[in-house]
Structure 1
């Protein structure tokens, strides 16, 4: 069975998500992860039109290959184009490539080959079908079976899918012999929906669950959520902002922080194998590593008393 470390580097920010990161800062961030003991790296062609893969590969190339787990994704091919502007999908990079959805068997194999070229590495460890929401039939008929063939050929060690929706992932793990699923934003202090469908399915099938978005795209990332905090990549609704602030108050009363509770609650579920945390600087790496220092047990009792834990949370 594929073994995953407790947490890994999410590299979207290293692809210049929202704001640019220099090559030097990106390299220093990956190096800081290594120094902190992080040996699991998640990337994708989508992140910065290949920039994240290029930066991750450059930073890992001289590291002992057997010591880290590298995960990338398939479903978007990058095709050169004559664009002169900036990327339109949230990454501060030149639009010199365009994404082409492709969940065909040939597209999956080409995607892995292209990723290896950008990474400059001899293999990836885990390959996930990425965001197949509008392509579920083709993902089921072609993309996942092709990844399973590549696993049989020894080209990848683990295969799975990554989505922002838990229900389709639950169906995938019931239907296919998957190693890993990555679900983003569906299990955190404000939303435990993945515990109702994906977690039971993954437990039955022995599929490792990796969580992304444990900070709810920003709302849970601050010791005190600000008025302009974001949730689900938009302005945080007033009721969720108030709930996050109440959790933050309980955290302070017990000598801990809202981000620490967000991380520890996510990691505590027995179905969860690992977390992927997005970072863009060495300082963020050090902060995230410290978030795993255990919070006082009493804080969880206090949150239960105030009905501030979502359904299905056992922390």
Structure 2
């Protein structure tokens, strides 16, 4: 178990949005978003070089500058280094930023150390609390687990970071990572949500091994973010299949019978598992942050979980 304070309340701030995920966010709005997170009590902040080709790290570091460093925890990621790009267009990986930089996979020990040094420079910090290996399954899982993850563990042992792990939406990749014995924490994206729980066995295994879990993607990128899902909503950043929209609507109906909304229940769901020490929720505006905080403060009655299990919408 990590010695990082993975406090449950209300949630960690996910920094992809202020890296211009899918749309541009102004510097002022990004700053206001982080300020709002601080004001509602958030003291955990997650980012990555991948998010806006370093834009998220730069904005987050600027917004946290002057805050008491011992009062918050911050995580970033390694695996993708940023190198000069063509500068002739926009990023082709989902972020509305110029392509003057591009991502380069580098799972080597030297690449891990250089990536972390570059992140610290963008953040304007001398340390981060958690360093994750980011999406190793996308390029070379074996290299990630035999080169990059041991390099992260060495940095932890040297005191450069307090905790290390892997972040991914692949259950298989995270399962392999925790079985190495090198992970303090994993960031599990979208695979342990109110909608679906393909990572349930992984979460249980993490509890057995004292590996902390930070659950992200609790809204499945949009499908669970509204009280009543719309037909044109998204799932994993793509149009949601009709059968999943219907499942989400069935979940929403049960939530309504118990006096809570679908998004409120989606935020509460992962934290029922002992291994899940925190959730991280992204935002692109101060209004979204405050809405998420209000949702996180809602008590979801135990009878709701019982009904979901009894009608087959939630596994035992």
- Flag whether TM exceeds 0.5 (same fold): yes
Work out whether residues 174 and 201 of structure 1, in 8 Å CA contact, stay in contact via their aligned partners in 2: no
Which of 178, 182, 188 is residue 173 of structure 1 equivalent to? Answer: 178
Deviation at residue 303 of structure 1 after TM alignment: 2.3
Which of 160, 165, 169 is residue 160 of structure 1 equivalent to? Answer: 165
Q: Match for residue 228 of structure 1?
A: 232
- Runs in 1 of length 4+ with deviation above 6 angstroms? none
> Secondary structure of the residue that 1:18 maps to in structure 2?
coil
Matched, 1:268 2:276: no
Work out whether residues 4 and 73 of structure 2, in 8 Å CA contact, stay in contact via their aligned partners in 1: no
Q: Match for residue 58 of structure 1?
A: 62
**1:142-182 Cα deviation digits (max 9, x unpaired):** 11111111111111011000011122212211212311100
CA distance in 1, matches of 2:200, 2:300: 22
Deviates more, 1:159-168 or 1:296-305: 296-305
Which of 190, 195, 218 is residue 195 of structure 2 equivalent to? Answer: 190
Matched, 1:241 2:249: no
**1:198-234 Cα deviation digits (max 9, x unpaired):** 1132112111001111111110011110010111221
Q: Match for residue 12 of structure 1?
A: 16
Q: Match for residue 5 of structure 2?
A: 3
Q: Match for residue 89 of structure 1?
A: 93
CA distance in 2, matches of 1:181, 1:304: 27
Work out whether residues 148 and 159 of structure 1, in 8 Å CA contact, stay in contact via their aligned partners in 2: yes
Kindly tell me: are residues 295 and 204 of structure 1, through their superposed partners in 2, closer, same or farther at Cα, counting changes over 3 Å?
closer
Q: Match for residue 124 of structure 1?
A: 128
> Secondary structure of the residue that 1:90 maps to in structure 2?
coil
Q: Which runs of 5+ in 1 are unaligned?
A: none
Kindly tell me: are residues 205 and 296 of structure 1, through their superposed partners in 2, closer, same or farther at Cα, counting changes over 3 Å?
closer
> Secondary structure of the residue that 1:291 maps to in structure 2?
helix
**1:101-142 Cα deviation digits (max 9, x unpaired):** 111100000000100111111111110000000311211221
Q: Match for residue 143 of structure 1?
A: 148
Aligned residues: 310
How well do the aligned residues superpose, as a CA RMSD in angstroms? 1.2
Work out whether residues 203 and 273 of structure 2, in 8 Å CA contact, stay in contact via their aligned partners in 1: no
Work out whether residues 149 and 182 of structure 2, in 8 Å CA contact, stay in contact via their aligned partners in 1: no
**1:66-124 Cα deviation digits (max 9, x unpaired):** 11110000000101223221111110011110100111100000000100111111111
